[in-house]
Structure 1
């Protein structure tokens, strides 16, 4: 697992106006860290450093070492609010990671062997991805960067469900725990021209 480190500063100036000033004048992103046995803490991150970290897909499903005024805390990204037109981050929510305690977060799916699958290569079908990420429940030490979905043995007309995924040790799918065996991908016959 990739170890990602971010630096932040505690902030006491709260509210909509203060957040606007942070973004406009200081080029900072307002954020909040909550969870665990500590009180929520308002922080600010340097916008360019945070944007650089978000370029890596692993950032969204990794434990981040967040250094706030010299003290490091392990956190995961819970939510991001982005500008509707320009896609830069307006605000971030982080959740503290507590050792030995299960957490729930989203993990991306990586589809492999799609072009070499039986349904595509031999039967001329096309792959449809129904979902691109899944919500998992696990301890921080077991958190995967992504989950691979192997399409090599999928035929035309066949649907891959959540129960067909091979999960790393210690990882559970939240939807399956609730009895929802959702479709992940399928291969359908391509339309004739």
Structure 2
């Protein structure tokens, strides 16, 4: 996994007003926590951080007052309308340390004919990996799968050094029948008639 270097500065003012001032300066308020230490409040350049966060579980080397601190993003708050970064929680990590993270699962291949749908039961797969070797994600083949088929956590091949942090029998992806998504026309009419009689 690539390591991204970003310069950050300590933050001494807190509260909504201070956070707005930080964002107006194109910085993002962030908090570093972990290893039982007191949380550190910093400001991080917004554009650089936004680019870094395009990589899931990106490893960031924060340069703060001449020292370096390795961190990974744990919680990202974005403006619900405009999408810009409002605040980021960063977890301090050490080389060789194991961390639990969630990685994206990308299906590849075509389902069996029939118009069936692919449902992500788990939006991401919880795994444990070495902090400086977190995989960006995993792919899984759904080629030829029919309705009723499912892919379990144990069916997914993980990179060396990465282990599951979820029940191996947990369903990650399943194939559902397209017809099961909506009631049959007759059933819909019956339901509407029943509602009308109750009104």
TM normalised by structure 2 equals 0.79
The structure number with the bigger radius of gyration is: 2
Q: Counterpart of 2:163?
A: 172
The answer on 1:76 being equivalent to 2:75 is no
- Deviation by residue 1:40-73 (Cα, 9 ceiling, x = unmatched): 211001222222333x2x2x32222222233222
Q: Counterpart of 1:181?
A: 169
Q: Where does structure 2 lack aligned partners over 5 or more consecutive residues?
A: 186-199
- In structure 2, C-alpha distance between the alignment counterparts of 1:72 and 1:28, rounded to whole Å: 19
- In structure 1, C-alpha distance between the alignment counterparts of 2:2 and 2:106, rounded to whole Å: 17
Question: Among residues 137, 146, 150, which one is paired with 1:159 in the alignment?
Answer: 150
Count matched residues. Answer: 181
- In structure 2, C-alpha distance between the alignment counterparts of 1:109 and 1:174, rounded to whole Å: 14
- Deviation by residue 1:81-104 (Cα, 9 ceiling, x = unmatched): 122222211110101112332111
- Deviation by residue 1:16-44 (Cα, 9 ceiling, x = unmatched): 321122123x2211101111364321100
Q: Where does structure 1 lack aligned partners over 5 or more consecutive residues?
A: none
TM normalised by structure 1 equals 0.81
SS in structure 2 opposite 1:5? strand
User: CA RMSD for the aligned pairs?
Assistant: 2.3
- Deviation by residue 1:148-180 (Cα, 9 ceiling, x = unmatched): 12212533321111121111222222222xxx7
Q: Counterpart of 2:136?
A: 145
Q: Counterpart of 2:21?
A: 21
